[in-house]
Amino acid sequence: MKKCLMAMVLTQMLTMNVNAVEDKNFNYHVDNFADIEVLRYEVPEFSDLSLNQKKMLYYLSQAAQSGRDITWDQNGRYNLKIRHLLENIYKNFSGDKNSKDFKAFEKYLKQVWFGNGIHHHYSSDKFTPEFSEEFFTTQVRALPAESLPLSNGETVDSLLSTLTPVIFNPEVMAKRVFQDGTKDVIVNSAGNLYGEGVTQAEVEAYFDKIKNPGDPTPISYGLNSRMVKEDGKVVEQHYHLNGLYGPAIAKIIYWLDMAKGVAENEAQRNYITKLIDYYITGDLRLFDEYSILWAEDTKSDVDFVNGFIESYGDPLGMTGTWESYVNFKNKKASHRTETISGNAQWFEDNSPVDSRFKKPKVKGVSAKVITAAMLAGDAFPSTAIGINLPNANWIRAAHGSKSVTLENITEAYDMASHGNGFNEEFVIDAPTRKNMEDYLYITDMLHTDLHECLGHASGQLLPGVDPDALKENGSALEEARADLFALYYLADPKLLELGVLDNPDAYKAEYYKYMLNGLMTQLNRIEPGKDIEEAHMRNRQLIAAWVLDHSKKSKAVELVKKNGKTYVKINNYPEMRRLLGELLAEIQRIKSEGDYEAGNKLIQKYAVKVDQKLHKEVLNRFSKLNIPPYRGFINPVYVPQYDEQGEIIDITLDFSENYVDQMLRLSRDFSTLPY
């Protein structure tokens, strides 16, 4: 199944790059807690936009923030209650704010904000509070009645009896997304995409009955619905204006309608209208029609994503979590992506996969570099650095796709990482470090471009293959396929010919970084003793571990010891590229044929298990650097300027808000759903 299609930051830009230009007057750093650092990003050239473009970005940003509660509720059935309760404890606390319990409470609240709920945004493990249950109970009972998130007939005692185990008992709702195929992934997942008592077998049987394998334009079944049991039968509850999440969707529709009034052209106005129609009805055929219109609009400078899009939050990979990106085109930087996408057919024709699985004609891969202007829902505070949509395979094949790289986000990561000591600690030698310092910034950007513009757009399913055939492994294998496509072509002379690289050895910077991250440094995100569960991390370890395993004879890649520390050593870059092509061919075959067994075997052998001894070493080495394994962002605040008649005459951006104030403001101004 074509899923997330977002290239996540591979090392969160940990390495120092000298190619980006630093704005010394902009403070990227906002907050730091637990395993997270919060940054802010610039919005270059916003002041150069026309008034209508600024208005559109403002209206779309309001639509984006209006859906915040949807994401929280999808992530867990108690999240909205817990957020309301925690925030009111924080605002009403009158005790010692330097006490151990309050400091721990503040840390927990910040984690919950960042995760859009009580589970970690990346690992999906439940957060562990470090304050006492007694402290929590005392603070809840001290709140005024109007500050309590009580449902009809609920008392403080019943509220506490419900929420206390959810927060404090590690066995209750332990993991938001459970993807170990040896157990029922729905029953063992704590997300709120399925009602109580619904099982994996029942959901799969339900959709098997309504799917038509021969449909050339299949609906993305389950994308906008919650599965529940009514009278013992599994049914869908759809997300739309008069269905689930109606109050939030009403606000989204209002702001989309405002944006439609200042659309840049008729094509943009048409797809916004179609998106509104979809939100009103919940009809997935309308969503497909919207997706086609959106993908075919390549002239608008202002653009956005708004809806139930990516399915990482669903253990079965079907239901989309609500998200929104608002952006505008970076015209200067887009020349790079336009050059690559303009040669999409060449890349498809020359890929190392079987000709049966190649597209005879690549349709409409439009690509651009964008400036992110607002992140929301599942794209906030943690975000991707690249997006490729629509997700539906048949739309991509018949109408093309739109690929974007969020360059101002990548630059913010880079600027915030200068001089952190990562290269000196983990990169094997000075020549490799020099190559990375010279070329990692551009090759990282190109990797994202190739991953999004071409990787996800490449290949085709054989007739009759179910897009969901790879089940819980679909996301990791799809991301691996796109990464492999990008890595394979980073070393191709075609990039020199096209003028997007100027040194035949530049690709080595990304090859080394990718192997280092996949084999070692991403383990900094894993708790000791745990396996890898997140799809992007599984993808990266799958590729790196497979290449290492298949390098035993050639020694193209190996792990070596130096002064008692483990390092990645690449002895033969061309041979490594050949291995990447071999794995790409196999994963494309798996996807094209819907070979679940072969895909599952790859995942289980290479992507899941962690070398505990190496993991301990990596954690110890990172501990000396004080580099948080996760980063995310707060958004700028859009400030309309009005004339005496109440008309907007300008919009400015305010970057002064801190993390706590932004989160409290969002809850105050954009709480659209009842708790």
Q: What is the DSSP letter of 501?
A: -
Treating both helix axes as pointing N-terminal to C-terminal, what angle do 507-519 and 474-490 enclose, rounded to 10 degrees? 150
Residue type present at position 632 = G
Backbone φ and ψ for 669, nearest 5 degrees, come out as -95, -15
Which portions of the chain are predicted below pLDDT 70? 1-24, 364
Tokens coding 247: 């109050």
- Three-state secondary-structure class, residue 251: helix
Cα 581 vs. chain centroid, distance in angstroms?
26
Listed in sequence order, the DSSP H helices in 393-429 are 393-399, 407-415, 422-426
- Cβ atoms of 383 and 372 within 8 Å: the answer is yes
CA gap 604, 397 in Å, rounded = 30
pLDDT at 332: 87
CA gap 290, 287 in Å, rounded = 5
Tokens coding 640: 């309309």
Backbone φ and ψ for 125, nearest 5 degrees, come out as -75, 150
- Three-state secondary-structure class, residue 499: coil
Tokens coding 6: 């977002």
pLDDT at 416: 83
pLDDT at 483: 97
> How does strand 401-406 pair with strand 565-570?
unpaired
- Cβ atoms of 357 and 590 within 8 Å: the answer is no
Q: Tens digit of pLDDT for each residue in 225-263?
A: 999 999 999 999 999 999 999 999 999 999 999 999 999
CA gap 283, 225 in Å, rounded = 11
Tokens coding 474: 């679909």
Residues 6+ apart with CB under 8 A from 111: 33, 34, 36, 120, 127
**Residue labelled with tokens 């157990």:** 183
- Cβ atoms of 145 and 653 within 8 Å: the answer is no
CA gap 278, 285 in Å, rounded = 8
Tokens coding 450: 């190739």
**Residue labelled with tokens 């008309």:** 647
pLDDT at 421: 87
